Amino acid sequence: MSNFNYTNDILKSLELNSINGVFIPIPYPHSDSCFRFEKLSNGSIIKYVNIVSPSIDKPCPHCGCFNHHESKGIRKIFLTHTSNGHLKTILEVTYRRYKCKHCHKYFKDAIPFRFPHSKLTTIAAQSCLLGFRENTAMAVLARAHGLSKSTVYRLFYNHIDIPLRFYHLPSTISIDEFRATVDEGTFAFHITNPISGKTLDIVADRRASYLKNYFIRFPYNERKKVKIIVMDLSGAFHSIMKSLFPNAQIIADKFHYTKLIRENMVQARINCCKKLKDVSLSKLIKRNLHLFDQYEKRLNEKKAWYRPYFRKHMTNKQLVKAILEIEACEELKTNYDIYQNFLKIINEPCNDYRKALNDWLDHIFITENSYYMRTAKNFRKKWFMPILRSLTYTTYYIRKNKKIKTCFNNGFIESMNNKVKLVKRNAYGYRYFQNLRKRILLHLGFRYDII
């Protein structure tokens, strides 16, 4: 086999076969191999590959003159390459410098496989850049690619750019906030399309002035396309969205208003336990507090456990019923019934949700229940129609070629926020919002440019 074939094989093993003729591997002095191995004090081994630029006539890049340049010496640079198994690989590249006799300017051999402004090969840099799409800490990426942490940081900060998002607004959007960084805004604003299951953008701040400046970029006709906005019970977001999107209908997220009612029920249970003189009964309610938060029709009716307070075996449903029948728990039973009536509206189909919701609110106003009064006033004044739409409006989405019917809710954006928290946790937090936004969008598969 000829030396040329050996050269091709070596370059192919290094994935550098495109540079044949420009740079070639040659044996080290006093050796018959172009590889050498160095063992470090920690026991790891580094493989060096000797690659040299051959001495051939090259035109001056400034004036194009041939054969009128003289060598200014031979230089050497060490470029970190992709690891070969457990071995860290470094290319020991020798290149030449020249001086043109015609224009008196200096130039040198171009290294086509060197990543710009770094001591890395292009393959090694691209391999590390692709790793940013995974939710992996930069220190872990550095160890996996045989690089220093500072090198990985520079690659991320200086060579990855995610351009500003310019997109067409869909008919349905879902909005929420999450804790970000303090350099631009403590809470960032997250926008998604719950039907297609895609994040649209992440805005640095949730304040009204910032959001208005962001959405005002979209033409008025584009903002008129938005028909439904799903959000939590934020009064500030409600007023901002109504002013920016004239045709949009607000839908309240079911989890958030149910959580608000549950908190009222929890407060009633806590106050009841404080007033009870029977300490054993108070401890029994506290140990089984999760049973009072569930919908009564979903309580376990099959398996029974021994209850020392009642001295007999009882299911979860029987236990809740027995506790509420005690005279000292009369106030708790009243508040529990109000809470269960609301869960019945949510969990069971109804012919007239408007009437059912109005009857539930009217009962609170008539009885003047102190635990639910503030929430009922808020629902009646601001959130009656958004809650009603969350109970009546339905849509279809497609996942894995299956068409699924569902209501409008913030379930998808909450799952995206969970991914955001994982990205922050793996990095032990971010100081600058733009770096956090860049890493999140990379993890979600957004297109990026290499600078």
Gap between the Cα atoms of 65 and 154, Å rounded: 38
Instruction: Answer yes or no: do 191 and 285 share one domain.
Output: no
Angle at which helices 384-392 and 353-367 pack, to 10 degrees?
A: 140
Q: Which long-range contacts (CB under 8 A, 24 or more apart) does 115-121 make?
A: 117/158, 118/151, 118/154, 118/155, 119/77, 119/78, 119/79, 119/80, 120/79, 120/80, 120/147, 120/151, 121/16, 121/79, 121/80, 121/81, 121/82, 121/91
Q: Is residue 79 part of a domain?
A: yes
If you ran DSSP here, which 8-state letter would residue 381 be given?
I
Q: What percent of the chain has a predicted confidence (pLDDT) above 90?
A: 46
Q: Is 133 exposed, middle or buried (0-12, 13-18, 19+ CB in 10 A)?
A: middle
Tens digit of pLDDT for each residue in 171-227? 999 999 999 988 888 899 999 998 888 899 999 999 999 999 999 989 999 999 999
Of 206, 205, 215, nearest in space to 243 by CA: 215
Residue 449 has pLDDT above 90, yes or no: no
Give the range of the structural domain holding residue 373, as residue numbers without chain letter.
255-394
Tens digit of pLDDT for each residue in 8-29? 777 777 777 666 567 888 888 8
pLDDT reported for residue 378: 94
| Degrees to nearest 5, angle at CA 220 with 215 and 223 | 60
Instruction: Answer yes or no: do 77 and 144 share one domain.
Output: no
Instruction: Answer yes or no: do 270 and 361 share one domain.
Output: yes
More confident residue, 47 or 57: 47
More confident residue, 52 or 261: 261
Tens digit of pLDDT for each residue in 54-80? 776 777 878 877 766 667 678 889 998
If you ran DSSP here, which 8-state letter would residue 379 be given?
I
Q: Is residue 8 part of a domain?
A: yes
Instruction: Answer yes or no: do 244 and 371 share one domain.
Output: no
Gap between the Cα atoms of 147 and 200, Å rounded: 33
Gap between the Cα atoms of 37 and 41, Å rounded: 13
Q: Is residue 182 part of a domain?
A: yes
Q: What percent of the chain has a predicted confidence (pLDDT) above 70?
A: 94
Instruction: Answer yes or no: do 260 and 248 share one domain.
Output: no
Q: Which residues contact 30 (CB under 8 A, 6 or more apart)?
A: none
Q: Is residue 403 part of a domain?
A: no
Tens digit of pLDDT for each residue in 312-356? 999 999 999 999 999 999 999 999 999 999 999 999 999 999 999
Count CB neighbours of 408 within 10 A: 23
Tens digit of pLDDT for each residue in 225-252? 999 999 999 988 999 999 999 999 999 9
In three-state secondary structure terms, 104 is: coil
Gap between the Cα atoms of 4 and 276, Å rounded: 93
Instruction: Please check whether residue 379 is in contact with residue 252, taking contact to mean a CB–CB distance below 8 angstroms.
Output: no
Residue 1 has pLDDT above 50, yes or no: no
Instruction: Answer yes or no: do 186 and 147 share one domain.
Output: no
Q: Which residues contact 131 (CB under 8 A, 6 or more apart)?
A: 141, 144, 145
pLDDT reported for residue 17: 63
Instruction: Answer yes or no: do 90 and 135 share one domain.
Output: no
Instruction: Answer yes or no: do 102 and 17 share one domain.
Output: yes
pLDDT reported for residue 220: 92
Of 437, 442, 411, 421, nearest in space to 174 by CA: 411
Distance of alpha carbon 154 from its chain centroid, rounded? 22
Q: Is residue 137 part of a domain?
A: yes
Tens digit of pLDDT for each residue in 76-93? 899 988 876 678 888 999
Gap between the Cα atoms of 422 and 415, Å rounded: 11
Tens digit of pLDDT for each residue in 249-298? 999 999 999 999 999 999 999 999 999 999 999 999 999 999 999 999 99
Q: Is residue 46 part of a domain?
A: yes
Sign of CA dihedral 208, 212, 213, 215: positive
Gap between the Cα atoms of 393 and 235, Å rounded: 21
Q: What is the rounded average pLDDT of the residues 392-420?
A: 85
Residue listed under structure tokens 């959405």: 215
Instruction: Answer yes or no: do 387 and 267 share one domain.
Output: yes
Q: Is residue 401 part of a domain?
A: no
How many structural domains compose the chain?
4
| Helix residue ranges per DSSP H, 348-383 | 353-367, 373-378
Q: Which residues contact 136 (CB under 8 A, 6 or more apart)?
A: 426
Q: Is residue 17 part of a domain?
A: yes
- Residue 392 sits at φ, ψ, to 5 deg, of -110, -30
pLDDT reported for residue 14: 74
Instruction: Answer yes or no: do 223 and 301 share one domain.
Output: no
Instruction: Answer yes or no: do 90 and 150 share one domain.
Output: no
Q: Within the chain, what is the greatest distance between any pair of CA atoms?
A: 108
Gap between the Cα atoms of 438 and 422, Å rounded: 14
Gap between the Cα atoms of 265 and 375, Å rounded: 11
CATH of the domain at 212: 3.30.420.10
pLDDT reported for residue 368: 93
Gap between the Cα atoms of 68 and 380, Å rounded: 89
More confident residue, 390 or 57: 390
Residue 119 has pLDDT above 80, yes or no: yes
pTM of the shown model: 0.81
Gap between the Cα atoms of 293 and 266, Å rounded: 8
pLDDT reported for residue 310: 93
Instruction: Answer yes or no: do 265 and 207 share one domain.
Output: no
